[in-house]
């Protein structure tokens, strides 16, 4: 357990970053309850490991990285439960339709909830590495540099993943949304 001074320092960091970490978890899961669980686990792990936090990255990047790991664990559990047949297939559909980007791509508002639901489902079908960068960049409004720091990779890798994600989203949604809404899918 961290010393009293460290506990206060951790509390300050947690207070300053809770909202952004929660929004990140919510944008990844699309489910408020799952996001709350993931964030709770994130801050528990962070508290336990706070003595190892060196400050090489920002506190937000460190916490976001822990949250991504907790999300991966959560996603694996859900997939395993579904695969074993203990839960109906719609278990994690949750509130996906209610999760929206803070700033929609290129400032375009999606025409209606049906089209935004199609976009969210297409994002959900992306492989984790692509889905994570889309969520961080478009839903959490993080810069390429911040994403690279969180994922411990180069900004060029983040750009490449965003490009591939946009390409897959465009292919997935082509012909399914109105022409005017096609602009909501970032092409490249």
Query: pLDDT, tens digit, for every residue of 144-162?
Result: 999 999 898 999 999 999 9
Q: Looking at the structure, do residues 112 and 162 belong to the same domain, yes or no?
A: yes
The reported pLDDT for the residue numbered 113 is 67
pLDDT in tens, 166-177: 999 999 988 877
Q: Looking at the structure, do residues 95 and 151 belong to the same domain, yes or no?
A: no
The reported pLDDT for the residue numbered 119 is 82
CB 31 within 8 A of CB 94: yes
The reported pLDDT for the residue numbered 35 is 94
Average confidence (pLDDT) over 38-59: 93
Q: Looking at the structure, do residues 73 and 91 belong to the same domain, yes or no?
A: yes
Q: Looking at the structure, do residues 1 and 92 belong to the same domain, yes or no?
A: yes
Q: Looking at the structure, do residues 92 and 105 belong to the same domain, yes or no?
A: no
The reported pLDDT for the residue numbered 78 is 72
Number of domains comprising the chain:
2
What is the extent of the structural domain holding 109? 101-188
pLDDT in tens, 75-131: 777 765 555 444 333 334 443 333 444 444 433 444 456 777 788 888 888 998 999
Q: Looking at the structure, do residues 117 and 168 belong to the same domain, yes or no?
A: yes
Higher pLDDT, 57 or 115: 57
Query: What's the whole-model pTM score?
Result: 0.61
Q: Looking at the structure, do residues 48 and 132 belong to the same domain, yes or no?
A: no
The reported pLDDT for the residue numbered 83 is 52
The reported pLDDT for the residue numbered 135 is 86
pLDDT in tens, 1-34: 557 778 899 999 999 999 999 999 998 888 899 9
The reported pLDDT for the residue numbered 26 is 92
The reported pLDDT for the residue numbered 148 is 93
Closest to 123 measured CA to CA, from 67, 180, 173: 173
Q: Looking at the structure, do residues 16 and 69 belong to the same domain, yes or no?
A: yes
Looking at 99, 127, 149, which one is the last position of a domain?
99
Higher pLDDT, 99 or 67: 67
Closest to 129 measured CA to CA, from 143, 102, 150: 150
Q: Which residues, 6+ apart, have CB-to-CB distance to 155 below 8 Å? A: 144, 145, 147, 148
Q: Looking at the structure, do residues 166 and 187 belong to the same domain, yes or no?
A: yes
The reported pLDDT for the residue numbered 82 is 57
Closest to 119 measured CA to CA, from 142, 138, 147, 140: 138
Q: Looking at the structure, do residues 49 and 84 belong to the same domain, yes or no?
A: yes
């Amino acid at each position: 357990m961290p010393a009293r001074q460290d506990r206060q320092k951790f509390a300050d960091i947690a207070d300053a970053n809770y909202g952004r970490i929660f929004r990140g978890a919510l944008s990844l899961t699309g489910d408020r309850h799952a996001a709350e669980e993931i964030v709770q686990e994130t801050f528990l792990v962070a508290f336990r490991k706070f003595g190892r936090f060196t400050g090489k990255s920002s506190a937000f990047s460190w916490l976001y990285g822990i949250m991504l790991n907790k999300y991966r664990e959560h996603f694996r559990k859900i997939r395993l439960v579904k695969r074993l047949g203990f839960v109906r297939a719609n278990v994690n559909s949750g509130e996906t339709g209610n999760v929206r980007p803070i700033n929609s791509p290129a400032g375009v508002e999606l025409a209606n909830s049906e089209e935004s639901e199609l976009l969210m489902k297409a994002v959900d079908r992306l492989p984790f590495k692509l889905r994570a960068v889309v969520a961080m960049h478009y839903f959490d409004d993080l810069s390429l540099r911040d994403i690279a720091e969180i994922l411990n990779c180069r900004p060029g890798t983040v750009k490449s993943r965003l490009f591939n994600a946009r390409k897959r989203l465009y292919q997935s949604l082509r012909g399914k949304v109105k022409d005017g809404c096609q602009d909501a899918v970032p092409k490249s």
